[in-house]
Amino acid sequence: MFDLMQINPGLWVVIAGVICALIPKTGATGFLRKILVLGAPILAGALIYQMYFGQDIGSDGVIGGKLLFGGIELTTLRIDRLSLVWGFLFCLAGVINAIYGLHEKCRITDSSALVYTGAAIAGVLAGDMITLFIFWELTAISSVFLIWKGGEHAYAAGLRYLAIHVLSGVMLLAGAVMFARANGGDFTFGYIGLDAPGGLLLLLAMGIKCGFPMLHMWMQDAYPKASITGTVILASFTTKFAIYALARAFPGTDILIWIGCIMTCFPVFFAVVENDLRRVLAYSLNNQLGFMVAGIGIGTTMAMNGVVGQVFVHVIFKGLLFMSIGAVMYRTGTAKASELGGLFRSMPFTAVLCLIGAGSIAAFPLLAAFVTKSMILAAAVEEHLYIPFLMMLFASAGVMEHSGIKVPHFTFFAHDSGRRVKEAPWNMLVAMSLAAILCIVLAWPWGGYQMLYALMPYETDYKPYTVDHVVFQMQLLFAAIFAFTLLKRFKLYPAERRAEILDADWLYRKVGLNIALWGSAMWTRLGANITRLRDATLGKAGKRLYQTFSPAGGLSQSTPSGLPAALIAGVLVLVLVLEYITP
């Protein structure tokens, strides 16, 4: 019998996305498409709530959707304390993104956004690695269209994005097969660890998707080239999907502490000199992901709670920042810091909302990250990881500089660019306002942050609003503000220039290309030399054989006609003797 409660809720969002692709983009049917884009994530969230809270569940949560595929038992639905948070979060992000994109008339954007959202929801609710792989790849395939809608310069970036994410999926599948073969064919997605067969491949596959150092550049390459709405949607799902997979498979893996700390630090230097503000936010995304990766590496209950909380608020405040810069780009046609400034006069509401997002990512008291990031830092101190703590402390000051100050300063204040434009469209303001309200409510000291803590996988009695924590955080933030002001006052802050900042992708796209071209030339030259040598050698040997054995050759002229028959008979006798004596 058909049971709705056995179907992964994300699948309904994917189906809605496919239907969207078939609905024309104009008239009443266009309105119907927007209802689907907005309603499908709400339906998925309601189903997740009903599945988890509306029935008696076991200690392992909701397990369902079992089916056989090629002799492998798949568990296509699992909702437990970990996946529940990501499921609700992705549904919430889908709704906010849908409101932000209500002005879009593009059928491809609406369809891709829904399929992408649904694949991310379905992926975090998957109970086995085959189902995980299917939706892992579907997120890549569906999201690339959001990049290609960015214009003529986006096509190559989209191809690179697709290639690296397909590579990630292939590595994920290979690692899953190796792991399952060593475990009796069991593809259940749970703790794996680095020492397990296929563990390294799985870690690298997830590392590509969440931007490990030297594997991160696809974000800075693709996100700024996507469409305005597409960039907001892209920032919500892919990397957080990968963080979920890491949290599920590799908690307490020590190497992740150092990988995460490096991720928090290196983007600070790139973001300071970057002119494209969407690229600045992409580097900031790397920075914030580093805190999550480091927390997973620490692996204690406090650290894991901090990771879950940081993921939840990060999707909201990072989306708010991308939405505010997207609104500016929608009205001005650019996101270059060198071409903006003074926009608070004509876009005051967007400016205020951007400042809330900036304060949230910088972890100002009473704003989102203040109640989550500190849990990861406290966990590092509890485990006596003082060097990682100092690295993350430096990165916290850095994110205040580039996302908390630089983005709103050069967009809305700084020099006056002379642009006088309209305020953002109403739907963009509504979406940004919802995100801003959540940034405040989820950090509110009188009952707000407890709602967020109630979603965490482990019970916690952590109190973020202590005198020591508030004073220490304010000292750190004001020190960053003072440093920025001082550098600007004495003209030591890097000027905003129209320039392309080289990143690690230069090694792949330039040096790597030259190495490939050199290798191809050497291979061609080697092949030509081998051919020349073969022709010369075989030519001389063939000529000598022809002179000896041809009808006009010397052997034919001087040898009796019966000798060849005698030689053949002798060889036959030799073969028969060898066959007889060989055991």
Check whether 551 has a pLDDT greater than 70.
no
Confidence of residue 508 (pLDDT cuts 50, 70, 90): low
Query: Out of 231-240, 445-454, 556-565, which region has the weakest mean confidence (pLDDT)?
Result: 556-565
Q: Count Cβ atoms within 10 A of the Cβ of residue 501 and give its class: 0-12 exposed, 13-18 middle, 19 or more buried.
A: middle
pLDDT at position 496: 67
Check whether 3 has a pLDDT greater than 80.
no
The token duo for 537 is 């050698």
Check whether 559 has a pLDDT greater than 60.
no
Q: Which of 95-99, 459-463, 512-516, 574-578 has the highest mean pLDDT?
A: 95-99
> Average pLDDT for residues 130-149, to the nearest whole number?
94
Q: What is the DSSP string of 145-172?
A: HHHHTT-TTHHHHHHHHHHHHHHHHHHH
Cβ–Cβ under 8 Å, residues 460 and 454: no
- Which residues, including other chains, have CB under 8 Å from residue 90's CB and lie 6 or more apart? 41, 117, 120, 121, 124, 236, 237, 240
Check whether 509 has a pLDDT greater than 70.
no
Per-residue model confidence as pLDDT tens digits over 168-185: 999 999 999 999 999 888
**pLDDT-above-90 percentage for the chain:** 57
Cα dihedral 187, 190, 193, 196 in deg (nearest 10): -20
Q: Phi and psi of 78, rounded to 5°?
A: -145, 120
**pLDDT-above-70 percentage for the chain:** 89
Q: Which of 66-75, 206-215, 505-514 has the highest mean pLDDT?
A: 206-215
Check whether 494 has a pLDDT greater than 90.
no
- The string over 403-424, giving b where at least 16 C-beta atoms fall within 10 Å of a residue's C-beta and e elsewhere, is bbbbbbebbbebeebebeeeeb
Check whether 298 has a pLDDT greater than 60.
yes
pLDDT at position 539: 66
H helix runs in 333-385, sequence order: 348-361, 373-382
- The sign of the CA dihedral 402, 291, 44, 209 is positive
Check whether 546 has a pLDDT greater than 60.
no
> Average pLDDT for residues 310-335, to the nearest whole number?
94
Cβ–Cβ under 8 Å, residues 298 and 310: no
Place of tokens 């109630």: 454
> Average pLDDT for residues 83-103, to the nearest whole number?
94
Run of H or E residues at 64:
strand 62-69
**Position 510: which residue type?**
K
The three-point CA angle 305-220-37 to 5° equals: 70
Run of H or E residues at 383:
none
pLDDT at position 521: 83
Check whether 212 has a pLDDT greater than 80.
yes
Residue from 258, 146, 158 nearest 207 by CA: 258
Measured between its terminal Cα atoms, the distance across the chain in Å is 66
Alpha-carbon distance of 282 to 517, in angstroms, equals 31
Q: What is the mean pLDDT of the chain?
A: 87
Parallel, antiparallel or unpaired: strands 72-79 and 62-69: antiparallel
Cβ–Cβ under 8 Å, residues 313 and 368: yes
Confidence of residue 4 (pLDDT cuts 50, 70, 90): confident
The three-point CA angle 226-430-10 to 5° equals: 60
Cβ–Cβ under 8 Å, residues 191 and 251: yes
> Average pLDDT for residues 320-343, to the nearest whole number?
92
Per the model's pLDDT, the better-predicted residue between 445 and 152 turns out to be 445
Angle between helix 107-124 and 129-148 (nearest 10): 160
The token duo for 449 is 């942050």
> Average pLDDT for residues 116-144, to the nearest whole number?
94
Q: What is the DSSP string of 556-572?
A: HHHS-TTHHHHHHHHHH
pLDDT at position 569: 76
Q: What is the DSSP string of 351-365?
A: HHHHHHHHHHHTT-T
Place of tokens 């109403």: 426
Check whether 105 has a pLDDT greater than 90.
no
Per-residue model confidence as pLDDT tens digits over 419-430: 889 999 999 999
Per-residue model confidence as pLDDT tens digits over 387-409: 999 999 999 988 888 888 889 99
pLDDT at position 564: 66
Check whether 525 has a pLDDT greater than 90.
no
Residues, the chain: 583
pLDDT at position 106: 84
pLDDT at position 289: 95
pLDDT at position 572: 78
Check whether 47 has a pLDDT greater than 90.
yes
Residues in a beta bridge with 63: 78
Distance of CA 482 to the CA centre of its chain: 34
Residue from 45, 141, 47 nearest 95 by CA: 45
Per the model's pLDDT, the better-predicted residue between 380 and 498 turns out to be 380
Check whether 1 has a pLDDT greater than 50.
no
Alpha-carbon distance of 227 to 318, in angstroms, equals 17
The token duo for 142 is 């569906």
The token duo for 39 is 């309603």
Query: Out of 158-167, 221-230, 400-409, 510-519, which region has the weakest mean confidence (pLDDT)?
Result: 510-519
Parse the chain into domains and list their residue ranges: 1-250, 251-496
The three-point CA angle 222-228-231 to 5° equals: 40
Q: Phi and psi of 218, rounded to 5°?
A: -65, -30
Confidence of residue 549 (pLDDT cuts 50, 70, 90): low
Query: Out of 69-83, 123-137, 161-175, which region has the weakest mean confidence (pLDDT)?
Result: 69-83
Check whether 553 has a pLDDT greater than 60.
no
